[in-house]
């Protein structure tokens, strides 16, 4: 692990995108008075979905024009760790152009909040160098999974970037992808190779596996498992006894569930759901995921956001028509914000979750 201090001024550069309303069907939510165009559809496979997604729910297109949107996180109030960022607002990553975007309720465009974001090096590079997963720590400070810098970064209240983890066993991480905080303050994260310019074949890769890690509150990094070929989205069940991890490998497109032991390590993993047979038939792979207060999974994958009961039943899908990267809770916890390729979207639910 190393410590690096870089003074930054976040949200200084503002670049607005054209997000013109398209489509005739539109919906309005309670969080603001703006009317946004609807798109996509809701596939209902099990009546239990009706208790989570109301019958008149619509997927709203809030903004568009991004290269690959990812990692949404709701910022409920002014946040000193993000240069006195005024809330409420939503931050999300736009990975290839290496920037974090900001969307304010009622707006139809998003602005650049931070650039450069996940890669702060001087040498030009291609691929996906930006931040991926974004989340707030227990103190409300922004934490980012940095592809290009190959580390987990904390944004301190004085504007510094503090790398929290960049090496395991003396070797550089691949490119941290997504993360979730445990109630203990420990951070669990995944480390596939997607941020490397040549991914798994990149000569700069130092580890011969893709791991799932736990960064303790004291700053100690531990490998929890390396059995997953491309670990991606990650989240806990409400009682924190199960850790769900998505695997974005087209050869084995699955979600796994791991028992969480009392000491925070993981027990045996089991396949929670397998969508390998859908790869190539619908856009997307298992990617980001979140769990609601009842233990239901909202997991991006082929077709959009797949909704699962804790027993593993596929209840239905919020179909975006695009490769869908991630989702997260916002507003009062009952709004699901979704990043789907070039779009930022949301849908109002009758269940709630916490953005961790």
What value does the mean pLDDT take over residues 99-120? 95
pLDDT for the residue numbered 199: 95
Entry pTM: 0.90
Burial of residue 7 (CB within 10 Å: 0-12, 13-18, 19+) is: exposed
pLDDT for the residue numbered 159: 81
pLDDT at 137 over 90: yes
- Summarised one tens digit per residue, pLDDT across range 244-299 is 999 999 999 999 999 999 999 999 899 999 999 999 999 999 999 999 999 999 99
pLDDT for the residue numbered 33: 67
What domains are defined for the chain? 36-41+61-279 (2.120.10.30)
pLDDT for the residue numbered 224: 98
Residues 6+ apart with CB under 8 A from 263: none
Question: What average pLDDT does the structure give for the chain?
Answer: 90
pLDDT for the residue numbered 83: 64
Cα separation, 289 vs 180, in Å, equals: 10
DSSP state string for 126-171: -S--SEEEEEE-TTS-EEEEETTTTEEEEE-TTSBEEEEE-EETTE
pLDDT at 6 over 60: no
How far out from the chain centre does Cα 92 lie? 8
pLDDT at 221 over 50: yes
pLDDT at 113 over 60: yes
From the list 165, 103, 170, 176, the residue with the least C-alpha distance to 134 is 176
From the list 199, 257, 262, 206, the residue with the least C-alpha distance to 228 is 257
How far out from the chain centre does Cα 310 lie? 20
27: DSSP letter:
E
pLDDT for the residue numbered 32: 64
């Amino acid at each position: 692990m190393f410590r690096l201090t870089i003074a930054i001024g976040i949200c200084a550069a503002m670049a607005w995108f054209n997000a013109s309303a398209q489509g005739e069907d539109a919906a309005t939510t309670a969080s603001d008075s703006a009317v946004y165009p609807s798109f996509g559809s809701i596939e209902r496979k099990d009546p239990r979905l009706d208790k989570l997604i109301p019958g008149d729910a619509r997927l709203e297109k809030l903004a568009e024009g991004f290269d690959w949107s990812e990692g949404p996180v709701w910022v409920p109030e002014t946040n000193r760790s993000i240069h006195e960022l005024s809330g409420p607002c939503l931050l999300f990553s736009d990975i290839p152009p290496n920037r974090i975007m900001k969307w304010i309720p009622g707006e139809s465009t998003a602005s650049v909040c931070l650039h450069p974001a996940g890669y702060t090096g001087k040498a030009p590079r291609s691929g996906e160098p930006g931040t991926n997963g974004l989340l707030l720590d227990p103190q409300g400070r922004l934490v980012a999974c940095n592809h290009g810098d190959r580390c987990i970064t904390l944004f301190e209240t004085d504007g510094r970037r503090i790398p929290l983890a960049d090496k395991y066993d003396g070797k550089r991480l691949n490119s941290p992808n997504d993360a979730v905080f445990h109630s203990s303050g420990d951070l669990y994260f995944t480390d596939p190779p997607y941020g490397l310019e040549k991914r798994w074949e990149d000569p700069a890769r130092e580890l011969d596996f893709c791991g799932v890690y736990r960064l303790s509150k004291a700053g100690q990094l531990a490998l929890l498992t390396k059995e997953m070929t491309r670990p991606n989205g990650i989240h806990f069940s409400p009682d924190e006894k199960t850790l769900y991890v998505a695997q974005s490998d087209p050869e084995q497109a699955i979600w796994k569930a791991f028992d969480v032991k009392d000491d925070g390590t993981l027990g045996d993993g089991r396949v929670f759901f397998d969508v390998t047979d859908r790869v190539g038939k619908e856009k997307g792979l298992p990617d980001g995921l979140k769990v609601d207060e009842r233990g239901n999974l909202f997991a991006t994958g082929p077709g959009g956001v797949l909704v699962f009961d804790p027993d593993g039943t596929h209840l239905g899908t919020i179909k975006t028509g695009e490769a869908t990267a991630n989702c997260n809770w916002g507003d009062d916890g009952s709004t699901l914000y979704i990043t789907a390729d070039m779009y930022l979207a949301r849908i109002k639910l009758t269940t709630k979750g916490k953005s961790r």
